[in-house]
Chain A
Amino acid sequence: MERIFSKDLVFSKAFLPALILVTVALSMVVIMYGVDTIIPKAHDTFHDVRHVLGMPCH
């Protein structure tokens, strides 16, 4: 029982940081490529950021 509980605790401890990092990494991709289908108006909102950081844009 203790063993199962400790495994769950380790999983939740590892899962939360992983989930946060994956979400932020996905946001980075959306911002850098201006993917409007995932976040509406992402392209126009972060247009200048993309150019200044040297990512290909129109």
Chain B
Amino acid sequence: MQSQSIDLRKTIFLGSLTGIVWGWLAMAVNTVTGAFTFENGLLHNLVTFAIGGAVFGIVASGFLSLMQRWLPFKSNLTKAVYIAVSLWIILFIGGYGLATAKPDRFVFEYHQGIQGLALALVLGTMLGYFWKRFDEAKSS
């Protein structure tokens, strides 16, 4: 049986770095699109979007580390986009299931959903780009 090992430092560093930047970018994008009116203050959101982004980024980065050998794409950028979007879709399906089961508690907003999917695509692109730059810097 083949064992699969991952570079934990690289995974966590790149995932959290990408995720924090992406979280703040998501705030900026939402301010421009106006898909959701923020209910919390800027300082609160700077912290929570950084944490939320870092968590999402680390999970995407972890899956990229684990699955990059098996994914049918050559480029790490494509793999990262595939993983980030797949993660978002899986989470969304779960959330949609909750919205169906408890419609008074969970409500789906179409515009926010489209924005979330686009942001997942951006996360994958950023993660793939940072991953590529990290590998290039390491090999040179």
A-side interface residues toward B, CB under 8 Å? 10, 13-14, 16-17, 20-21, 24-25, 27-29, 31-33, 45-49, 51-58
Q: For residue A24, which residues in chain B have a CB less than 8 angstroms away from its CB?
A: 55, 58-59, 62
Is A52 touching B35 in the complex (CB atoms < 8 A)?
Answer: yes
> In the complex, which of the residues B38, B55, B98, B106 contacts A31, with contact meaning CB atoms closer than 8 Å?
B55
Docked complex: B67-124 residues within 8 A CB-CB of A: 88, 91-92, 94-96, 98-99, 105-109, 112-117, 119-120
11 A-B pairs with C-beta separation under 8 A: A14-B5, A24-B55, A24-B62, A48-B39, A48-B48, A49-B49, A52-B29, A54-B112, A56-B95, A56-B108, A58-B106
Q: How many A-B residue pairs have CB under 8 A?
A: 110
- Name the residue of chain A whose CB is nearest to the CB of B111: A54
Kindly report which residue of chain B lies nearest to residue A51, judged by CB atoms.
Answer: B36
Min CB–CB distance B54 → chain A (angstroms): 9
Interface check B131, CB cutoff 8 A = no
Task: Give A56 to B112 CA distance when docked, in angstroms.
Answer: 9
A58-B51 Cα distance, complex, nearest whole Å: 21
Distance A57 CA – B116 CA, assembled complex (angstroms): 13
Interface check B17, CB cutoff 8 A:
no
Given contacts A46-B52, A56-B106, contact A32 B95 (CB under 8 A): yes
B80 vs chain A, min Cβ distance (A): 16
Q: Once the chains bind, are B56 and A28 in contact (CB under 8 Å)?
A: yes
